[in-house]
Structure 1
Amino acid sequence: MENSGLVVHGQSAPFSTALRSLVNNPWHSDICFVVGQERQEVFAHRCLLACRCNFFQRLLGPGVPSPVVLSTVPAEAFLAVLEFLYTNSVKLHRHSVLEVLTAAVEYGLEELGELCLEFVVKVLDVELVCEALQVAVSFGLGALQERCITFIEAHSQEVLRTRGFLELSATALLPVLRSDKLCVDETELIQAARSWARVGAAVLDQPVAEVAAPVVRELRLALLAPAELSALEEQNRREPFIPVWTPVTELRSILPRGDEEQGPGTSVSVVTRFPLQVEQIVEAWKCHALQRGDAARSAPCRRRRGTLPRDHHRFLDFRFK
């Protein structure tokens, strides 16, 4: 009978330490990366990267010259990726973990990504949560997105004052504005959304109302008292934020029937086009005038967790869920 072999293990710590010493070590390295905007040189070993990661196996195929430029990944995050590939462990830091997570997703390193997600949840705070939400939305990380939204719901006022909130994309901001559990009054949320749109307008060189258009429909103007709604309307005249839709008149020439080959005819039709989107401010006033929440079904009027009570709220049909 043939004897079966027995796998025995030596000490893992010295092995890990030895491999860690090879991270960014030019000794016997056969590939150099130029990473980040600082164009930092990082040394590595092709065979180790290729056997540990399919991304690098494809990237470092035969004939690929050195150095390889990876300008979108910061040097610190790339070194963390290498540390994980060499040692199957990594030291994470709060200030760079989202960059490591982004690299892990892009390079298909699921285990590293899970380690990063666990770390993010542990260190999540007011300053980090919006940046984490943006990463979650960008890469479809549903569990992280839910965790970030829950955190924002509990710390709404503090989060709205952060730089990270102002830098959110419209796609990432939408799930925040759709939440019924935000602990903030609508007036503060409107002001925060206006500040967000101003920053976006400056960055994109576009009008504030154009930048705000994808998200303003989630603002619940019907929650405002008449005096607050009037003030918002006046401010919106001075600085357009909530789009005001007006009829558009279009002039169109008409070809006489049967004379298409002779060129355009001289008759002109006037076509007036009314946009389908209803002005939010008008809908909010309708809610006040009719004293029924169902009069403004096209404009959300559910009270949020942090909505301050106003006299007309007793007419709203939609209850907090």
Structure 2
Amino acid sequence: MKPRRKSVPVRVGNVVIGGAAEIVVQSMTKADTRDVKATLNEIARLKDANCRIVRVAVPTREAAVAMVEIKKASPLPIIADIHYDAPLALMALEAGVDGLRLNPGNIKDPEKVKEITRRAKEREVPIRIGVNAGSLPGRPKEGAGVRPPTEEVVAAMVNAALGHIHILESLDFNLIKVSMKASDPPTMIAANRAIADQISYPLHLGVTEAGPPRTGAVKSAVGIGVLLEEGIGDTIRVSLAGDSVDEVEVAYGIVNALAEKLTGPNLIACPMCGRLEIDMLPMVAEVEKALKKIKRPINVSVMGCVVNGPGEGQHADIGIAGGKKEDEQKLAS
């Protein structure tokens, strides 16, 4: 990866985003926020998956009330996700959340934004200005099977972000993070490139509404991966129509695929072909399951034949290569 773009560090609870900090992986709960037990159980699973920060939706007053208990018991910093209803942001701040996410597309009244900002400033709580292409006012309409011109959408996204940044800065508030999300990687990439040189705040990357696990992982890898390779991005969230723990695993997969130094386990497995002489898929599944319990950097290769197996094994920390007689396990020296 290229050297990271310089950004001002912002602290969310006990986690630093931006500056010289490592890329932070976060996720969002899928449970009904009003169900405190279910939400906390999900947060506990996310922590076990090495998620660093969790965002929680606050769509109602009941959800905002539940945030008091959730925040008290959460092992991870909590960001309250606010849309439409500015008073819910104030309730979330009273609950002690570690951060807010505001959407310029649906909290537009400058006076309401200022009121939230003043309260956040009193508590030193950061605000993410979370721009979504799909919720922008005046967004160009799509034709059947055709996206609106990327340039027009990107310009609208940048203007929305800069407008809210100006409101926050007018109150001498600089605990700001920014995200520029779209459901298609080209727009998301272009929007982040466009704003990266205009601000010094940390950037949160994500392809929003990416889809079910398989297609969502592909879109996220393209959008997030391209930007990280260019040195753009300080924290990431993979958005999948599925388990939030899967989001974290895909996110770390993206980071590990680009990193000079691993941040966790890396499983190398051959795609299989007619040379295969072992029952490889169950073996790969078993190794993958075992690696989920490991947090330290480690390379493990599982290869189905002797063509690349021994070579990959020697470069890995642990290598498994299938042969005619038996599976061969080698520890790299």
Greater RCO, CA 8 A, separation 6+ = 2
Larger gyration radius, structure 1 or structure 2: 1
TM range (shorter): under 0.3
Pick the structure with more strand per residue. Answer: 2
Pick the structure with more helix per residue. Answer: 1
TM-score norm. by structure 1 comes to 0.27
